[in-house]
Amino acid sequence: MKNYFLLIATFSVSILYSQGIKVPLDTMVVTNHSVVINGQNLSYQATAGTQPVWDAKGEPIATLFYTYYKKSNSEKEKRPIIFSFNGGPGSASAWMHIAYTGPVILNIDDEGYPVQPYGVKANPHSILDVADIVFIDPVNTGYSRMVADKDGKMPDRKTFFGINADIKYLAEWMNTFVSRKNRWESPKYLIGESYGGPRVMGLSKELQNSQWMYLNGVILVSPADYKIYSTDQPIYSALNLPYFTAAAWYQNALSPALQQKDLLDILPEVEAYTIDKVMPAIAKGGFISEAERNQVAEKMSLYSGLSKSSIIDHNLDVPTSFFWKELIRDKGYTIGRLDSRYLGIDKMNAGNSPDYNSELTSWLHSFTPAINYYIREELKFKTDVKYNMFGNVHPWDRQYDRTRDGLRQAMAQNPYLKVLVQSGYYDGATTYFAAKYTVGQMDPSGRMKDRVSFKGYRSGHMMYLRKEDLKTATEDIRQFILESTPKQGEAAKY
């Protein structure tokens, strides 16, 4: 990666105060670079900047930090553009920015563990060869902040911090961005990781119905469906069983008969058993017969590496937190939540859940210094505002979550729109089988299933941290974009 020269431009010189800190309201810094992708040298322009969020009176109420990568000397109006969001809610865009699709990646080992010196290096697998990319930090993440009015009063937090509020203001912001950058003619894509999944599902409908901006594709990376996670319905815990199998297989905790098989030879039978037997058994609650309870618990034990007695003690409804603590307790370790390849050490071997998330502490180890260095020193955007890897966005209003159906409606209205789902088999937070279940429930008629594809990887929530999966997953996105960009003259119709 090489800087050729530096350009600085501003739409406004306004700098507002947010809680006593100078916040750049509407600025940008442009630098030029090059990267080798799949053996070909690609020159690109990086814009790191802020763009306001306005209220109904046209007054700024927040400013969002973004990083925009555009291939140099290209017909940008015809070139695809992808808008990238992480999740949380309250998470910055750093994760996919400097570890997945962008032109640089972390200095980490081949399995994703931190190494020193910290920093970044060129990403030979970036998707910048097929699409320009915008990484967006919602309010209170990254350098994005609410801003006070002329009287020093901060805006109502409900304007930003909730499922539907988040979608509404981000869609408005994107409209302004697309107009400023002259990208209305470009094929458009959204990618969202974790909570970014429901965010971009909701945005797909909001952009079409309120901004009249139609998409070509939505990419869901380890999506979190709160129609599953925010209910008290115990039947949804059944969806964890295939993940239990995958994590136990990786940790060599299954029976010898299963352990000698390849993971992908085991999972289809576990998925079928989950839907056909485990969900109905849990749904029966206390009305299940002792014979069926014992039969299901025995099979779950076989597929999970947990004891039959511990499964019965949980009434077949085994919490994931217990699984992370229990699976290899006899070896003195816990396993990671977001990626169960990672190991942790607790103060006590006893207990029902781990003391900490071993994978997240590992990731923050390498991400935090890298993103702060990269934005300041290579993208030349300098500010005294702290870069929030995680920001204060709570309480978060989860009411009226219609994001799943929003994506279905957007697809129904727009024959161009296709969906790619990417999940890691060892992700215990937003499990791969829950993601499969989500897209099945999104389109219960099955009439649009040929426009939805699923890709699984032998890693966790951020599958791209593993070198082998980074290469495969970015190639899957690349092919998805190429295949979902219509040929010239191809009409959007059924």
The predicted-structure confidence for 403-429, as pLDDT tens digits, reads as follows 999 999 999 999 999 999 999 999 999
Q: Do 197 and 99 belong to one domain? A: yes
Residue 4 lies in a domain: no
pLDDT of residue 397: 95
| CATH code for the domain of 76 | 3.40.50.1820
The Cα 121–Cα 144 span in angstroms is: 25
Residue 491 lies in a domain: no
Residue type, 303: Y
The Cα 372–Cα 142 span in angstroms is: 10
Residue 340 lies in a domain: yes
Q: Do 224 and 240 belong to one domain? A: no
**Boundary of a domain, candidates 307, 326, 359:** 359
Residue 116 lies in a domain: yes
Q: Evaluate whether 306 touches 299 at the Cβ level (below 8 Å).
A: no
Q: Do 162 and 248 belong to one domain? A: no
The residues facing 472 across adjacent strands are none
Q: Do 338 and 452 belong to one domain? A: no
Residue 5 lies in a domain: no
pLDDT of residue 21: 57
Q: Do 403 and 273 belong to one domain? A: no
If pLDDT is split at 50, 70 and 90, which confidence band does 10 have? very low
pLDDT of residue 172: 98
Residue 374 lies in a domain: no
Residue 195 lies in a domain: yes
pLDDT of residue 75: 79
With a cut of 50, say whether residue 4 has pLDDT above it.
no
**Domain span at 89:** 27-228+381-484
Q: Do 183 and 325 belong to one domain? A: no
Query: Total domain count for the chain?
Result: 2
Q: Do 104 and 214 belong to one domain? A: yes
Q: Do 244 and 202 belong to one domain? A: no
Weakest mean pLDDT among 115-124, 189-198, 249-258, 267-276:
115-124
With a cut of 90, say whether residue 147 has pLDDT above it.
yes
Q: Do 345 and 385 belong to one domain? A: no
Q: Do 117 and 184 belong to one domain? A: yes
Q: Do 166 and 287 belong to one domain? A: no
Mean pLDDT, rounded, for 423-440: 96
With a cut of 90, say whether residue 472 has pLDDT above it.
yes
Q: Do 46 and 159 belong to one domain? A: yes
Residue 251 lies in a domain: yes
Q: Evaluate whether 438 touches 404 at the Cβ level (below 8 Å).
A: yes
pLDDT of residue 258: 98
pLDDT of residue 41: 97
